[in-house]
């Protein structure tokens, strides 16, 4: 008893709880929760090495469930502060843990290790064995968690679900059960009904089919009411109907077979002359060999098409030989109809091919005769030239060429009969006995080859009326002294006018296309190019199928540099799979690299840009002669290049409104700048457009020094460039003040108001910086601030920036410059990082160079790939020489030229109007220029002496003070008051 009392006393005795322990527990739990939150949610730079290790450990092992860990300490910490027992929420915590584990299991089954490595060891065998069937396990876990939360017995929800499904299935089976004979009859009726409907669609006029179908449908409706005897009778009738249907189908099959046996698709014959290659050492024979290969390839394609049609016809006959059903009849009739349409097209193609063969075969024998002739090489060179210019037309003129061969002096060195040619189709001739002279053909000019004198009879068609082009080329010149050998390659004639005398100036006019090189004739055989493109398209489709990518090439577009193949992926095929195969496609096509454009703007296809084997040259002459440049409504049109679709792309600098050009050395950047400048020179006079050019490299823009469009000489010193740019900013602010005074918002409105009151208009201004990197290294703050002011505000004043650099790095192309210069041209670069720096996108690293560019401006969905035109140094020199000889009254330069001087060239400080210095070494030279020109002008001195406007103005003021030139006369040039003989009186000998 005593022991029991002691035990009961010890049990009833309560352990004293120190006050404040629950707050301590709560704070500890909150600290744990805070630590977990910092480790899991915060970035690495705020947690340090320990936090990063904890976060990586939790995320690797628990997956996304690691984000829920801080919730449990927070909940228990709140309970501790409220002095409540943790048992109050134990059921909810257990249920949440079961649901969390079920979610992790589902994640690991759908995507491996997304739910952590701990559960990955359990789910990985399940996922590999039954795949997504393993989701049943987390589904059971979800139901178990719901049962714990709802205080239900374990698995009670699953049991109730399966019990409900079984009851529904059993009830459905009971309600739809029919006796076996009734189901069998219903199935037969359905089969006969489908067969009758199919035959009715093929032969709607057959009355017996209509009667059978009506009777059968009535029986189908009344089956449930039939007695067993009626069902047996119906089954017998169905068997009889089946025999009648088979007899009807067999009869129709015989009729179709008779028509099929009447189909004939004859195979064309390949002439034996086309079976072997043409082996002659002639330029024209090489061109003819390409045409022979094309004809042979077309023959093989036609042969394959006709053989396929014959095979399909034989298969149709075999199909109709046994028991035939309506489906087979429909298939055969459909194939017969499509085959008839295909044969109409194929027969036309065979006829066209045969016509080409009839024209081509005589050339085989003719070329042998040319090779055997003593002077055949002379005729061969002219024939090759004409074949290159117009292949089809020259092929039809074999009669003219045969007569021309007869008229050549000399006789064949080796007689070649037609029989010999027919026997030796490889044309392996022995040229060792031929006495050809491979010396300079100029001695032939002493005894020129006479032009053919053959006069053909009156032709029946217009094509035969035309004189062969090579006969027209050999017409003698009017001047006998200038006559030359007609078969000798002629040098291109210069289209330039005779240079005018240097004394005196010519009025300011736009350059003419005569200053440019003639447009070369680069016509290529489109059939050969299309055949090569089709072969590459088949190779692309084959390569994609090898990598199990479901896609096909649906079209192609050949550009001057690359050919874009349009790939249509199958439904559900990801674009990324095709983009990831760019290197494999380049290997299969044996090219340096391909560019994937996914997708092509405006089309639901993927573009694969493959470099061409031969680049098509685009000349600047052809660009400005294009309709796109001539009809352009742009304010400042600039020729950018030709697109893949073959269209000339002309941009508008006024809409861009500033342009950034970047690319590696030798990629075509400098040529692009030259074409941009010359495009504007061909459109605007000096009174309408002025340039400010900065060229720290001193090689690219210095050839333009002295043209009248320059407001000041080309800046070549990087130290002076910052001052010139700041002066340009000052002129921009001056323009804004002038526009505000007349209430104009932009240059266009200002010039319109000036035209109304008869005042001179302000010209457009283009500021070109050829190498931005040199300026950014010399004066980064001043240059960047000036460029920012101009880029942000100069558009309304008609002033536009063109920035070029061969160093596309982030320290040169800063974010401020890129934001304010939205239009970009990217040439070939070395890495995708440089491409992103220029275009904010990849692609420029896969360009081929030599003018291949990506152009982007606001409004375009994606950058456009273009091939820039080429302008030679000779063309640039001729244009600049022509412009330097022009004269005009430069009121704008005299009024505002000092804004762009920056630092005075003489070193006297910035724009200082000091006293006249008559000891200036350029004073006498300025006087000689004025006497030579016959008139005096500040702008003329500025260009001829390559000095700034301030110094040229001082020289003109000193000449006026000395009495050499007259006073300023408004818009008229100054008169010259002395002659050259009077110069020693002013300057001495």
- What secondary structure, in 3-state letters, does 373-404 show? ECCHHHHHHHHHHHHHHCHHHHHCCHHHHHHH
End-to-end CA distance of the chain: 150
Let me know if 247 is exposed, middle or buried by CB neighbors in 10 A (0-12, 13-18, 19+).
exposed
What proportions of the chain, in percent to the nearest 5, are helix, strand and coil? Answer: 55, 10, 35
- The DSSP call for residue 89 is G
Q: Please give the Cα distance from 496 to 517 (Å, whole number).
A: 9
Distance CA(800)–CA(794), nearest Å, equals 7
Strand partners, 642: 648, 867
Q: Annotated binding residue at 8?
A: no
* 72 three-class SS: helix
- Please name every residue paired with 57 in a beta bridge, in sequence order, or none if there are none: none
User: What residues does 800 pair with on adjacent strands?
Assistant: 766
DSSP 8-state code for residue 608 = E
Helix (H, G, I), strand (E, B) or coil at 965: strand
The pair phi, psi for residue 762, each rounded to 5°, is: -85, 135
Ranges of H-type helices in 85-155: 90-110, 117-130, 136-149
63 annotated to bind ligand:
no
Nearest in space to 112 (alpha carbons), one of 97, 96, 136, 134: 134
How far apart, in whole angstroms, are the C-alpha atoms of residue 524 and residue 612? Answer: 13
Question: Distance between CA 562 and CA 146 in Å, rounded?
Answer: 63
Residue 393 has which token pair?
């037309």
Query: Is residue 668 annotated as involved in ligand binding?
Result: yes
State CA 928 to chain mean position distance.
56
Give the sign of the dihedral formed by CA 817, CA 823, CA 828, CA 831.
Answer: positive
Angle between helix 44-62 and helix 21-41 axes, rounded to 10 deg: 90
Interatomic CA distance for residues 372 and 360, integer angstroms:
19
966 is known to lie in a ligand binding site: no
Residues across the chain = 989
Distance CA 134, CA 128 (A): 9
Instruction: Print the SS3 string covering 679-704.
Output: HHHCCCCCCCEEEEEECCCCCCCHHH
Residue with tokens 């006026």: 960
Helix (H, G, I), strand (E, B) or coil at 637: strand
Cross-strand partners of 853? 866
CA angle 206, 209, 213 (to 5 degrees): 145
CA-based nearest residue to 807, from 658, 663, 701, 659: 663
Q: How far apart are CA 884 and CA 967, in angstroms?
A: 25
CA-based nearest residue to 702, from 710, 892, 901, 899: 710
Residue 489, CA distances (Å) to 227, 239, 441 in order: 104, 89, 10
Residues 141 and 108: beta-carbon distance below 8 Å: no
Whether residue 484 is annotated as binding a ligand: the answer is no
The span from the CA of 11 to the CA of 561, in Å, is 97
Instruction: Check the annotation: does 114 bind a ligand.
Output: no
Inter-residue contact 896 to 731 (CB < 8 Å)? yes
Q: Output the DSSP codes for 212-254.
A: HHHHHHHHHHTGGG--HHHHHHHHHHHHHHHHHHHHHHHHHHH
b/e 404-436 (16+ beta carbons within 10 angstroms → b): bbeebeeebbbebeeeebeeebebebeeeebee
d(CA 581, CA 466): 53
Any binding-site annotation on 504? no
CB 648, CB 519: distance < 8 Å? no
Residues in binding site for ATP: 663-670
Residues in binding site: 663-670
């Amino acid at each position: 008893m005593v022991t029991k009392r002691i035990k009961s006393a010890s049990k009833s005795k309560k352990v004293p709880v120190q006050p404040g322990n629950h707050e301590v527990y709560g704070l500890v739990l909150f600290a744990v929760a805070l630590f977990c939150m910092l480790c899991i949610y915060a970035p690495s730079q705020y947690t340090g090495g320990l936090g990063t290790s904890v976060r990586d450990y939790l995320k690797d092992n628990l997956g996304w469930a690691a984000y829920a860990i801080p919730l449990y300490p927070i909940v228990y910490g709140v309970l501790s502060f409220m002095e409540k027992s943790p048992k109050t929420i134990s059921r909810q915590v257990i249920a949440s843990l079961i649901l969390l584990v079920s979610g992790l299991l589902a994640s690991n089954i759908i995507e491996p290790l997304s739910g952590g490595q701990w559960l990955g060891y359990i789910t990985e065998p399940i996922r590999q064995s039954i795949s997504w069937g393993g989701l049943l396990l987390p589904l059971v876990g979800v139901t178990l968690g719901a049962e714990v939360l709802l205080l239900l017995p374990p698995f009670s929800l699953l049991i109730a679900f399966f019990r409900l499904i079984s009851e529904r299935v059993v009830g459905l089976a009971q309600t739809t059960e029919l006796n076996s004979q009734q189901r069998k009859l219903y199935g037969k009726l359905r089969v006969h009904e489908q067969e009758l409907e199919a035959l009715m669609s093929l032969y709607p006029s057959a009355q017996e089919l209509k009667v059978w179908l009506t009777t059968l449908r009535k029986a189908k409706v009344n089956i449930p009411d039939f007695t067993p005897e009626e069902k047996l009778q119906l089954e017998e009738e169905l068997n009889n109907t089946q025999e009648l249907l088979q007899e009807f189908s067999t009869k129709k099959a015989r009729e179709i077979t008779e028509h099929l046996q009447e189909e004939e698709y004859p195979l064309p014959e390949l002439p034996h002359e086309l079976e072997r290659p043409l082996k002659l050492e002639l330029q024209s024979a090489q061109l003819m060999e390409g045409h022979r290969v094309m004809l042979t390839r077309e023959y093989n394609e036609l042969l394959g098409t006709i053989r396929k049609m014959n095979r399909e016809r034989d298969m149709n006959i075999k199909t109709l030989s046994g028991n035939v059903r309506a489906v087979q009849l429909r298939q055969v009739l459909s194939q017969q109809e499509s085959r008839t349409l295909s044969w109409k097209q194929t027969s036309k193609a065979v006829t066209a091919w045969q016509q080409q063969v009839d024209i081509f075969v005589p050339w085989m024998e003719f070329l042998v005769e040319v090779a055997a002739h003593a002077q055949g090489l002379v005729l061969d060179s002219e024939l090759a030239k004409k074949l290159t210019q117009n292949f089809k037309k020259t092929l039809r003129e074999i009669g003219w060429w045969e007569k021309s061969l007869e008229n050549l002096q000399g006789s064949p060195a080796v007689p070649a009969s037609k029989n010999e040619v027919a026997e030796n189709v490889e044309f392996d001739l022995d040229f060792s006995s031929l006495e050809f002279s491979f010396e300079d053909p100029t001695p032939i000019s002493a005894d020129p080859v006479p032009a053919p004198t053959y006069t053909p009879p009156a032709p029946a068609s217009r094509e035969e009326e035309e004189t062969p082009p090579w006969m027209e080329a050999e017409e003698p010149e009017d001047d006998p002294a200038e006559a030359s050998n007609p078969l000798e390659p002629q040098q291109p004639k210069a289209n330039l006018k005779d240079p005018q005398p240097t004394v005196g100036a010519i009025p300011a006019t736009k350059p003419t296309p005569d200053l440019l090189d003639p447009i070369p004739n680069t016509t290529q055989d489109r059939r050969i190019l299309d055949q090569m493109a089709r072969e590459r398209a088949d190779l692309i489709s084959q390569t994609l199928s090898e990598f199990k990518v479901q896609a096909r090439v649906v079209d192609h577009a050949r550009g001057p540099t690359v050919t874009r193949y349009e790939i249509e992926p199958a439904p559900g095929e990801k674009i990324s799979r095709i983009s990831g195969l760019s290197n494999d496609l380049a290997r299969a096509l044996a090219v340096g690299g391909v560019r994937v454009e996914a997708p092509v703007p405006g089309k639901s296809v993927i573009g694969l840009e493959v470099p061409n084997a031969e680049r098509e040259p685009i000349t600047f002459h052809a660009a400005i002669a294009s309709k796109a440049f001539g009809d352009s409504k742009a304010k400042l049109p600039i020729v950018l290049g030709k697109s893949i679709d073959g269209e000339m792309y002309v941009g508008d600098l006024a809409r861009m409104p500033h342009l950034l050009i970047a690319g590696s050395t030798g990629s075509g950047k400098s040529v692009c700048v030259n074409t941009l400048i010359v495009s504007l020179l061909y459109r605007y006079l000096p009174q309408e457009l002025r340039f400010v050019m900065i060229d720290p490299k001193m090689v690219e823009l210095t050839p333009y020094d002295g043209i009248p469009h320059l407001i000041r000489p080309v800046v070549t010193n990087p130290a002076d460039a910052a001052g010139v740019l700041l002066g340009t900013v000052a002129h921009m602010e001056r323009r804004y003040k002038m526009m505000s005074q007349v209430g104009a918002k932009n240059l266009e409105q200002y010039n319109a108001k000036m035209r109304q009151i008869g005042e001179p208009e302000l010209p457009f201004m283009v500021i070109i910086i050829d190498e931005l990197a040199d300026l950014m290294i010399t004066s980064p703050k001043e240059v960047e601030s000036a460029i920012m002011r101009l880029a942000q505000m100069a558009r309304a004043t008609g002033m536009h920036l063109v920035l070029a650099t061969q160093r596309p790095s982030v320290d040169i192309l800063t974010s401020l410059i890129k934001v304010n210069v939205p239009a970009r041209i990217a040439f070939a670069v070395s890495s995708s990082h440089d491409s992103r720096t220029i275009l904010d996108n990849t692609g420029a690293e896969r360009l081929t160079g030599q003018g291949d560019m990506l152009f982007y401006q606001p409004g375009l969905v994606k950058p456009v790939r273009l091939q820039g035109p080429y302008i030679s140094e000779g063309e640039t020199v001729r244009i600049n020489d022509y412009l330097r000889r022009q004269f005009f009254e430069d009121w704008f330069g005299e009024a505002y030229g000092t804004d762009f001087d920056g630092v005075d060239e003489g070193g006297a400080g910035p724009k200082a109007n000091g006293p006249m210095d008559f000891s200036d070494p350029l004073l006498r030279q300025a006087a000689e220029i004025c006497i030579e020109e016959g008139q005096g002008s500040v702008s003329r001195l500025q260009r001829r002496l390559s000095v700034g406007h301030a110094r040229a103005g001082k020289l003109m003021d000193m000449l006026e003070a000395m009495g050499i030139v007259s006073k300023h006369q408004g818009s008229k040039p100054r008169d010259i008051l002395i002659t050259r003989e009077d110069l020693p009186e002013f300057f001495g000998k």
